Every structure is written in C-alpha cells, then in structure tokens.
C-alpha cells in the first residue's frame, strides 16, 4: 500500500467516524460508487473499530508505556539547571513527568518537570509542547498549576517546570472523603472559576477530566495539563490547533464534546460540555450516557446521537439495576440514595443538561455562568438555565431583600416588540385562550430573564432604573387587554418584582388588578388564585399592612387547603408566611402558633418525617421568635439543632447553614456566652469567604457580627478593625446608596459609642441617618434604630435633656423598633430622666423596664444587668443609697455569675456596687472593688476614659 493510498483510507475513516450512522451509510455508498476497493477497506476498519478489538491496541499501548519507562530511567538523579530529577511520576503523549527538587538557592522547593521525549513525537508535537509552555506562562490562578520555569536540556529537548501538586483526582477525593452534595458543588465551582479564568485569557483547555483536576489535602483544586489546549486569540501559537486541521482529534472520549468527536473547531463551549460531564459524574458517579457505551466508538456514537440522561434519572436507573451500587453512591455523598435523587431532580438536572446540549450555542456561554447557577441553586434562588414559571419562582424559599435591578434602555424596545408580536398573533387565532395559555409562559420567562439579568453591578453604558423598566413594562401590558390570562400573569410577575424592589404599593395595585381580571373573566383557577393572594400578602406584609397581609395569606391558605393535600409544601409554606407576618407585627404568640402548625405538617406530629430545607427553615424561625421573646432557654437548643441538622443535610458550606450558625451566635451573645459566640462568628466568616464572592455583603455582615462580640470581650482594636472592614466592603461592593451600608454605619456608630469615641459615633450615625432619609424617607425603620444609639451616646456624655428629646421622637415609631432595641430605648429614657434630675420619673421608668424584663427573661438573666445598674445609679443620685444597694449588688452578682472573668461590663457593675458599699460603711471592700474595676476598664478603654475618671473621682472622695 502506498502512502497516498494509506492517506486516502485514513482521511475517509476519520470523516466516517465523525458522522451519525445514517450519514455514514450514505457517505460509504457515495464512496463505493467512486472507489469500491477504498470503500470496502474503510468498512472493514470501521467494523474492527466498532467491535472494540483490543488485540492490536493493547500491544501498541504496552510498547509505548515500556518505551516511556525505558526513556525515563536514564534521567533519574540527573540535574537540569537548578532541578534534580528524583523519580518519574507520570507520562503523557509527549513525554515524561518527573518529581524534582531545587538544588540551588536559599530555599528547598519541590516541582514537577515535564520533558518532551523526541523519540515519541514529531516536529509538530514539539511545537505543541512549546506552545503549552507559553500557555502556562500566561496563566496565574490559585486553582491552576503554576509554571515555575522552563528551557531546554543539553539534548535540545524542551522542558517545563510546574508546581508539584500533591493531591487526589477530584472524583476520588470527593468519594474518599464522603463529601456532601453541597461540598462537591463548591469544589466544582472552584474548577469552573479556574476554567473561566483560562477562557478569559483566551485559552480553551480541551481535556477537562478528573485526572487533570487534583485536589490537595487542604481541599484546594488544581487544574493541570494544558498540553492540548487551544488559544482563542487569532494567530497566536497556531500550532495548538494544527492537530484539529490534520484530523487528529486531541481529546479524552468520555469527556469530549460533539464538536470534538466530529473534528470541528473548538471553543469555550467545548470546555463547558466537559464541565457538564464532570458535574454529572460528581453528582451521580456515572456517565451521562449510561454504562452501555464502553468502547471509544460506542462512547463517541452516544455523544453524537444519544440524549444524555438526567442526573436524577441516572440515579433512579442505577437504583433499579443495582440497589447496592446506588446505596454506595449515596453513602459517598453522605446522604441516602433516595434523598440524593430528590435533590438532583429539578435544578441540578437542568444545569447539567444545559452544559450537555449537543448544539454549542444552547450551552452556557461561559464557565462563570455555570458557577453562578450553582450558586443560585445553593442559595435557593431561581437558576437562569430554566425558563421560570411563576410557580417555580415563588416556590423558592427566601427571607431577604432583593437587590436593585437596572437594564439598558434598548430592553424597552425588545419588550414592546415581543408583546406587540404576540398581540397580533393572538388576534389572528380562533382559540385565543388556548394560544394565550401556550404563549404566556414564554412571555413570562422572557420578562423574568430581562429583570433578572439586568445587573446594576455589571451593566455597562447608559442605564435606566429598574423602576423605569417595570413602569414601561406595566404600560405595555395594557395592550393585552383582550388576553386576560396573559395580562394577569404579567401583572403578577411585574408586581412581584416591584415587591422585591421595595415598591410594595405599586406591587399591591398590580397584583390586586390581576386578581380582579381573573375574577371578571371567570378564569378562577383556585391554585393560581392562591398564588396571587400569597404574593399580595407578601407585598402587604413588606409595606407594613399586617392585617391586610394576614387576610390575603389566609385566603391563599384556604384555597390551598381545599385543593391540595394537607401536608403539601405550598400549604406548609403559607402557614409559615402567616407566622412570619405575625412575628413582624410583634404578635409572637400567634407567630409561634402558625409556625408550629407548619412544622408539625412538615415533619409529622411524631417527628417521623425526614427533615428537609423547608421544615428546617421553619424550625429556625421558631427559634428566632423564641429568641426575640426573650425565651432564650427554649431558643438555644432549637437553634443548636438547626445548625447540627443543617450541617448534615446541606453541608457546612451551604449558605443556609452559615446563616443558621450565625443566628445561634446572636443568641449566645444575648446569653452573654461571648467566647463561644466569637468562635461561632469566626466560623461563619471563614465559611462565608469560601462561599460568597469577594466584598459580598454577606461576608461583611459576618465580619461585623464578630466585631460586635469582640468589643463585648474587650478586644476593642480588633472590633474596630472588623467594623471598619465590613463597612468598607459593603461600600466598595454596593456603594453608599444601600441599606446594607447604612446598617454598617449604624454598627460603627454603636461601637464608637461604647468605646467612648463620641465624635466618631456621631459622624457615622448622622451619615447613616442622612442616607436613610435620602433613600427611604423619614419613616424608615432605620431612623429610630439610629436615634436610640445617638441617645445612648448623649446619656454617656451626661446630656440627658438631648437624649430624652431624641428618644421621645424615636418612640413615636415604636412599631418599627425591634423588641430588643425597644428595651434599650425604654432604659435609656429612664437614664435621661435621671440625668435631668427627674429621679421619681426615672425610677418609675426603670422599675417598669426591670419588671417587664424579669417577667420575660427571669430574675437572674444577664439582660437585667444594665437596667439594675442604671436603677441603682438613679436612686443613689436621688439620695436614697439604701434603696440603691439591692439593685447594685444584684447587678454585680449576676454579672460575675454570667460574664467572662475581668470583663469590662462586670467592672461597670462593680463600680456602682462600690458606691453603695462605701455609703453602707464597708470602705475597704468598696475601695478594693473600685480599684479592680478601674484596672479592668483601663485595659479596655485606656486612661482618660470618662468611666475611668468617674471611678477616680469616687476613690478621691473616699480619701
């Protein structure tokens, strides 16, 4: 056979292998007409290839492996530049990889050296090897193995020195460590971010598979082997795409995309496909194409012709075929196989299948988009891969405010064109209602995507506000007056978006209109109406119309109870929402009642049902209500339980787990368990940094929470650094025009007040107040919260008159003040009255606060310390030291019982106690207690602090 004849056969074979079965048959028929001998030879080779005959392949593979082994031996202990080769640790198509140590310089270093073996490759591969070195030189990312050095040996063989990654391939790492689904997804996100970085540097990896992704013992993933990578930049290192032009399909079949199998040009979408296969395996332990395809030809045929399985379906199939194997898959993910299947079903199925689309244009457009949708799934937000239905969107359980949206003005024209198009189409149809039903979900999905993707933090160029966008959309809806179902659904969607943008009044108006339209047109589907009433209730709740909200929610509940099973998630969810609404109204007993009813349905009266995210959220809300009610002893075991279950159910790095962990921390602070609370908040910060992007407001929140407990522990410098860092993170991430930034300014003001730095406190608090008025108006809940802190600062400066005025105005907005802060406001009002010499009024006020707190929290609760101390101080100022003594002593005893030793809050109680002891004649003990209190306060606040000076004045008088 001549070389030309061989080339003809090879070319025909390569073309045939890239075709579907029908295409291949037609191709061979055409070829037979032109050259019957050539066609028959190609058929014979194809038949041998499809049989998976290894009789020839095995010896060839063995020979190559043997050759590489033989080549590697002479290199051991050889020194190349600064590196000594110690052992061969691997081999690839272009050469061998050695473990090496740096033998010169002032420090020891281990690396991996890859040397191209000229005996195994041709000139083209050598150029490709050099291109790999250049590619790695351009990539610097914590999750990509770093290029350290490079050059040529004395023989002229190119080599590269790479970071030595001591790790395990990603799938084995996940299985060996029994990583939960959440932990696997976090690791996968890390890989996506590394791949996205490569893409943004114009590099497509083209061989993404578990063996090229190692995970270190510290849990850090590292992307390896850019040996067949392609540069996207036109003209750069053209050799990296030569193998595609030559027909040599550089790939690993199991992870190859359809375009790679066909030998077509590759792109970012190629890596997206491979990431989809990797995700599928991490989720299920299986291939997207099942176990029937075993040979390379069968795998490639499946990639080209077969629809990939859904991950949940693959698991179901495995359970049917091999229950033991299915059980093992679940155990490797620290979850039962049945529960794993339920978690995969839905969003994760959708994400994986979008990656695995055969048409590259239908896949995610970037690895970053995959990571973002994974984040949405983990945060229980709607993913972008799905065409959102209203039912899907509202099923997401969220208890947070949405961020503002923005969009390019061109979107208006698109919306107008879309609605106009459908209006014309609908007018031409006989059965308008039927077509409306078919088209409404498409319109809804489009609008949702518009609103969702218009991100103010990434949009470039001229922008309009989300409110402008929504208002324009609302106007366009009027053109659909002849299509009531579509019109009402769009009203519902836009109304919901108004709610998320804190424009509840507009939301209420639109959603109520949607309800009226459906009633008027007889389109009274009970479950759709239940959705509308539910959404109306949420808008009313957020607008402060609590009675209206409860009424709307109860209408939704009635419809759902009449048309759904008693324990249906939507019934449970509505019960939970009613509970939350009563909680917002401070009707805590009613809130507990509804939350408990929801909880009983979610887990069963005997607790025999398995916990899920909804039931766990309800349990957490019960704990929060008990916490706010001051029923700390009941709340503590509940909140501890939510954290324990959440870590098992969702994993330690699940956002809900971190939030639940932090809720426990808040309670521990109120229980004065500062040291444990500090550990809890530190864990939250550590986990949040791994979960949320840099400068995310959630990370900042946890840093500030840790600052709050640090100052209580007397670690003022650390606390200030935490508060400042948190505020700067939010300012840099969201800008000053955000509620989160106002929160952090308020926190800084509170810290500086306690620290005695009143000028800084006033600056931060007034800045927060100014921003609140500008953004939200004078009746926003932030105003009284800020003013209570301002009043406390005035009291600490002994300006009782100014403090009283501020507090009286703040208390006019009593309904917008949380229970815990209301206690502070009432107490500070008593202090302000005392500082003005209104001792009787102050005593009545402080006695009332004390009685309410004793009733709510018990007689020896640490929350009583401050009010007891202030009451003693007032009675002492009033000239009634005998009456002051019991309160002062009680405050001191509770403080020493519950607070950490030498805590500055004990010192404040001790200082007041010393006053009453001195008046009672126990001068020596009073002096001893006062001196210790002084020492403890100086450690925290320094000399010159007014609290220290007050003790100094007392000690001077004693002399």
How far apart are the C-alpha atoms of 571 and 558, rounded to whole Å? 9
More confident residue, 911 or 509: 911
Lowest mean pLDDT among 314-328, 471-485, 790-804, 858-872: 471-485
% of the chain beyond a pLDDT of 70: 75
803 band by pLDDT with thresholds 50, 70 and 90 = very high
C-alpha closest to that of 367 among 433, 279, 465 = 279
How far apart are the C-alpha atoms of 640 and 939, rounded to whole Å? 34
What is the pLDDT averaged over residues 339-349? 85
Examine the pLDDT at 341 and tell me if it is beyond 90. Answer: no
Write the pLDDT tens digit of every residue in 450-473.
Answer: 444 443 333 333 344 555 555 655
Q: Share the mean pLDDT of the chain.
A: 78
923: enclosing H helix or E strand: helix 923-941
Examine the pLDDT at 278 and tell me if it is beyond 80. Answer: yes
pLDDT at 611: 78
Q: Which residue has the tokens 């996968």?
A: 188
755 band by pLDDT with thresholds 50, 70 and 90 = very high
| HEC profile of 560-609 | HHHHCCCCCHHHHHHHHHHHHHHHHCCCHHHHHHHHHHHHHHHHCCCCCC
Lowest mean pLDDT among 490-499, 526-535, 594-603, 894-903: 490-499
C-alpha closest to that of 948 among 928, 926, 932 = 932
C-alpha closest to that of 384 among 329, 455, 433 = 455
How far apart are the C-alpha atoms of 928 and 932, rounded to whole Å? 6
pLDDT at 138: 65
How far apart are the C-alpha atoms of 414 and 698, rounded to whole Å? 34
How far apart are the C-alpha atoms of 762 and 790, rounded to whole Å? 7
Examine the pLDDT at 124 and tell me if it is beyond 80. Answer: no
How far apart are the C-alpha atoms of 77 and 209, rounded to whole Å? 31
Burial 267-288 (b: 16+ CB within 10 A, else e): bbbbbbbbbbbbbbbbbbbbbb
Examine the pLDDT at 928 and tell me if it is beyond 60. Answer: yes
Phi, psi of 231, rounded to the nearest 5 degrees: -90, 130
How far apart are the C-alpha atoms of 99 and 629, rounded to whole Å? 63
pLDDT at 605: 66
Examine the pLDDT at 167 and tell me if it is beyond 70. Answer: yes
Any bridge partners for residue 150, and if so which? 160
How far apart are the C-alpha atoms of 648 and 9, rounded to whole Å? 58
Q: Is 175 a catalytic residue?
A: no
What is the pLDDT averaged over residues 913-922? 86
65 band by pLDDT with thresholds 50, 70 and 90 = very low
799 band by pLDDT with thresholds 50, 70 and 90 = very high
C-alpha closest to that of 394 among 511, 479, 563, 503 = 511
User: Which of 175, 207, 349, 866 is the catalytic position?
Assistant: 207
Examine the pLDDT at 419 and tell me if it is beyond 50. Answer: no
Examine the pLDDT at 106 and tell me if it is beyond 90. Answer: no
CA angle 777, 783, 787 (to 5 degrees): 150
How far apart are the C-alpha atoms of 712 and 674, rounded to whole Å? 7
pLDDT at 133: 59
646 band by pLDDT with thresholds 50, 70 and 90 = confident
Examine the pLDDT at 866 and tell me if it is beyond 70. Answer: yes
CB 929 within 8 A of CB 909: no
pLDDT at 159: 82
Examine the pLDDT at 653 and tell me if it is beyond 70. Answer: yes
Phi, psi of 240, rounded to the nearest 5 degrees: -70, -15
How far apart are the C-alpha atoms of 817 and 769, rounded to whole Å? 15
91 band by pLDDT with thresholds 50, 70 and 90 = low
More confident residue, 204 or 680: 680
907: enclosing H helix or E strand: helix 904-919
- Is residue 102 packed enough to be buried (19+ CB in 10 Å), middle (13-18) or exposed (0-12)? middle
105 band by pLDDT with thresholds 50, 70 and 90 = low
Q: How many CA atoms lie within 13 A of 343 on its CB side?
A: 24
Strands 110-116 and 147-152: unpaired
What is the pLDDT averaged over residues 243-250? 37
What is the pLDDT averaged over residues 666-682? 90
CB 507 within 8 A of CB 534: no
Write the pLDDT tens digit of every residue in 711-732.
Answer: 999 999 999 999 999 999 888 8
886 band by pLDDT with thresholds 50, 70 and 90 = very high
How far apart are the C-alpha atoms of 32 and 26, rounded to whole Å? 10
Q: How many CA atoms lie within 13 A of 636 on its CB side?
A: 12
Any bridge partners for residue 84, and if so which? 79, 101
Structure token digits, residue 11? 């070319």
C-alpha closest to that of 693 among 204, 190, 213 = 190
Contacts of 15 (CB under 8 A, 6+ apart): 27
More confident residue, 399 or 626: 626
pLDDT at 3: 43
Structure token digits, residue 847? 């006695």
pLDDT at 22: 62
959 band by pLDDT with thresholds 50, 70 and 90 = low
C-alpha closest to that of 697 among 403, 377, 406 = 403
pLDDT at 641: 93
Lowest mean pLDDT among 305-319, 381-395, 418-432, 477-491: 418-432
| HEC profile of 49-87 | HHCCCCCCHHHHHHHHHHHHHHHHHHHCCCEECCEEEEE
410 band by pLDDT with thresholds 50, 70 and 90 = very low
C-alpha closest to that of 319 among 285, 282, 281 = 285
More confident residue, 655 or 596: 596
Any bridge partners for residue 152, and if so which? 158
pLDDT at 807: 93
Examine the pLDDT at 123 and tell me if it is beyond 70. Answer: no
Structure token digits, residue 127? 């150029």
How far apart are the C-alpha atoms of 471 and 542, rounded to whole Å? 20
Q: Residue 61 region, left (φ>0) first, then alpha (ψ -120 to 50), else beta? A: alpha
pLDDT at 118: 52
> What sign does the dihedral 718-719-720-721 (CA atoms) show?
positive
**Secondary structure letter of residue 863 according to DSSP:** G
Q: Which residue has the tokens 């609605």?
A: 419
CB 86 within 8 A of CB 69: no
Lowest mean pLDDT among 262-266, 810-814, 910-914, 939-943: 262-266
pLDDT at 747: 92
Structure token digits, residue 908? 């404040």
How far apart are the C-alpha atoms of 527 and 106, rounded to whole Å? 73
Examine the pLDDT at 430 and tell me if it is beyond 50. Answer: no
Q: Which residue has the tokens 């055409």?
A: 30
Lowest mean pLDDT among 490-499, 528-537, 730-739: 490-499
Write the pLDDT tens digit of every residue in 602-639.
Answer: 887 666 677 777 888 899 899 988 887 878 889 999 99
793 band by pLDDT with thresholds 50, 70 and 90 = very high
429 band by pLDDT with thresholds 50, 70 and 90 = very low
More confident residue, 463 or 886: 886
Structure token digits, residue 306? 């077969």
End-to-end CA distance of the chain: 117
Q: How many CA atoms lie within 13 A of 895 on its CB side?
A: 25
- Is residue 564 packed enough to be buried (19+ CB in 10 Å), middle (13-18) or exposed (0-12)? middle
pLDDT at 887: 93
475 band by pLDDT with thresholds 50, 70 and 90 = low
Contacts of 165 (CB under 8 A, 6+ apart): 112, 145, 214, 216, 222, 224
Examine the pLDDT at 119 and tell me if it is beyond 90. Answer: no
640 band by pLDDT with thresholds 50, 70 and 90 = very high
**Secondary structure letter of residue 241 according to DSSP:** G
Examine the pLDDT at 67 and tell me if it is beyond 70. Answer: no
How many Cβ atoms are within 10 Å of 86's Cβ, its own excluded? Answer: 14
Find the length of the chain: 959
Write the pLDDT tens digit of every residue in 213-242.
Answer: 999 988 999 988 765 555 554 443 333 333
pLDDT at 425: 38
790 band by pLDDT with thresholds 50, 70 and 90 = very high
């Amino acid at each position: 056979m001549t070389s030309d004849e061989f080339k003809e056969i090879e070319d025909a074979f390569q073309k045939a292998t890239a075709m579907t079965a029908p295409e291949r048959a037609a191709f061979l028929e055409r070829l037979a007409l032109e050259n019957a001998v050539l066609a028959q030879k190609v058929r014979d080779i194809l038949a041998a290839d499809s049989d998976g005959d290894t009789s020839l392949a095995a010896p060839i593979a063995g020979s190559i492996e043997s050759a590489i082994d033989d080549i590697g031996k002479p290199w051991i202990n050889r020194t190349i530049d600064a590196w000594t080769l110690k052992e061969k640790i691997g081999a690839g198509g272009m050469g061998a990889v050695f473990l090496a140590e740096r033998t010169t310089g002032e420090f020891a270093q281990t690396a991996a050296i890859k040397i191209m073996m000229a005996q195994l490759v041709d000139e083209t591969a050598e150029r490709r090897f050099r291109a790999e070195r250049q590619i790695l030189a351009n990539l610097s990312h914590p999750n990509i193995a770093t290029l350290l050095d490079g050059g040529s040996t004395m023989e002229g063989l190119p080599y590269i020195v790479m970071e030595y990654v001591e790790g395990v391939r990603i799938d084995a790492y996940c299985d060996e460590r029994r990583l939960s689904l959440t932990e696997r997804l976090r690791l996968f996100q890390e890989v996506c971010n590394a791949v996205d970085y490569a893409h943004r540097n114009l590099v497509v990896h083209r061989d993404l598979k578990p063996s090229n992704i190692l995970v270190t013992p510290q849990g850090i993933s590292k992307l390896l082997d850019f040996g067949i990578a392609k540069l996207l930049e036109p003209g750069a290192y053209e050799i990296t795409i030569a193998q595609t032009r030559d027909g040599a399909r550089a790939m690993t079949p199991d992870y190859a995309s359809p375009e790679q199998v066909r030998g077509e040009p590759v792109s970012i979408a190629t890596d997206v496909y491979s990431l989809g296969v990797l995700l599928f395996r991490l989720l299920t332990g299986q291939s997207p194409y099942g176990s029937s395809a075993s040979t390379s030809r069968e795998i490639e045929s499946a990639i080209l012709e077969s629809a990939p399985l859904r991950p949940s379906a693959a698991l179901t199939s495995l359970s049917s075929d091999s229950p033991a194997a299915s059980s093992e898959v679940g155990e490797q993910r620290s979850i039962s196989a049945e529960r794993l299947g339920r978690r995969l079903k839905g969003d994760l199925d959708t994400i994986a299948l979008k990656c695995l689309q055969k048409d590259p244009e239908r896949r995610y457009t970037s690895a970053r988009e995959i990571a973002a949708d994974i984040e949405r799934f983990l945060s229980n937000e709607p993913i972008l891969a799905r065409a959102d239905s209203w039912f899907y969107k509202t099923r997401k359980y969220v208890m947070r405010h949405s961020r503002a949206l923005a969009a390019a003005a061109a979107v208006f024209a698109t919306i107008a064109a879309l609605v106009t198009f459908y209006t014309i189409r609908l007018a031409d149809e006989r059965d308008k209602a039927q077509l409306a039903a078919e088209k409404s979900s498409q319109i809804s999905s489009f609008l949702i995507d518009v609103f969702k993707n218009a991100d103010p933090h990434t949009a470039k160029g001229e922008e309009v506000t989300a409110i402008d966008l929504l208002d324009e959309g609302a106007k366009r809806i009027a053109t659909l007056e002849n299509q009531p179902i579509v019109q009402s659904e769009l009203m519902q969607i836009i109304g919901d978006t108004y709610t998320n943008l804190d424009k509840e009044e507009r939301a209420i108006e639109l959603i109520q209109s949607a309800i009226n339209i459906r009633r008027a047109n007889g389109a009274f589907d009970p479950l759709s109406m239940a959705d509308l009433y539910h959404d109306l209730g949420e808008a009313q709740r957020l607008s402060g119309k609590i009675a209206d909200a409860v009424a709307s929610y109860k209408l939704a509940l009635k419809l759902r109870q009449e048309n759904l099973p008693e324990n249906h998630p939507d019934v449970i969810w509505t019960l939970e929402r009613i509970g939350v609404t009563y909680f917002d109204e401070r009707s805590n007993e009613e809130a507990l009642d509804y939350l408990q009813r929801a909880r009983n349905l979610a887990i069963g009266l005997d607790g025999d049902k398995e916990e899920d995210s909804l039931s766990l959220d309800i349990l957490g809300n019960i704990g929060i209500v008990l916490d706010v009610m001051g029923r700390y002893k009941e709340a503590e075991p509940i909140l501890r339980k939510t954290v324990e279950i959440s870590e098992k159910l969702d994993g330690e790095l699940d956002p809900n787990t971190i939030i639940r962990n932090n809720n426990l921390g808040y309670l521990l602070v109120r229980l004065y368990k500062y040291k444990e609370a500090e550990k809890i908040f530190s864990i939250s910060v550590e986990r949040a940094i791994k979960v949320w992007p840099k400068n995310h407001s959630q990370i900042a929140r946890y840093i500030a929470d840790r600052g709050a407990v640090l100052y209580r522990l007397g670690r003022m410098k650390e606390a200030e650094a935490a508060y400042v860092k948190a505020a700067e993170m939010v300012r840099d991430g969201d800008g000053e025009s955000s509620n989160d930034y106002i929160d952090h300014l308020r926190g800084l003001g509170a810290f500086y007040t306690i620290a005695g730095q009143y000028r800084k406190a006033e600056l931060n608090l007034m800045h927060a107040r100014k921003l609140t008025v500008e953004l939200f108006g004078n009746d926003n809940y932030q105003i009284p919260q800020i003013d209570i802190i301002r009043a406390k600062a005035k009291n600490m400066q002994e300006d009782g008159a100014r403090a009283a005025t501020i507090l009286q105005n703040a208390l006019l907005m009593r309904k917008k003040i949380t229970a815990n802060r209301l206690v502070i406001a009432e107490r500070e009002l008593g202090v302000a009255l005392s500082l003005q010499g209104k001792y009787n009024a102050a005593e009545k006020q402080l006695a009332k606060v004390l009685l309410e707190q004793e009733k709510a929290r018990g007689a020896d609760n640490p929350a009583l310390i401050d009010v007891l101390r202030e009451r003693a101080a007032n009675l002492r100022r009033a000239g009634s030291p005998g009456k002051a003594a019991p309160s002062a002593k009680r405050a001191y005893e509770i403080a020493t019982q519950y607070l950490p030793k030498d805590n500055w809050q004990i010192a404040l109680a001790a200082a007041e106690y010393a006053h009453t002891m001195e008046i009672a004649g126990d001068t020596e003990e009073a002096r001893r207690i006062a001196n210790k209190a002084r020492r403890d306060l100086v450690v925290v606040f320094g000399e010159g602090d007014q609290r220290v000076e007050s003790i100094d004045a007392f000690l001077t008088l004693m002399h």
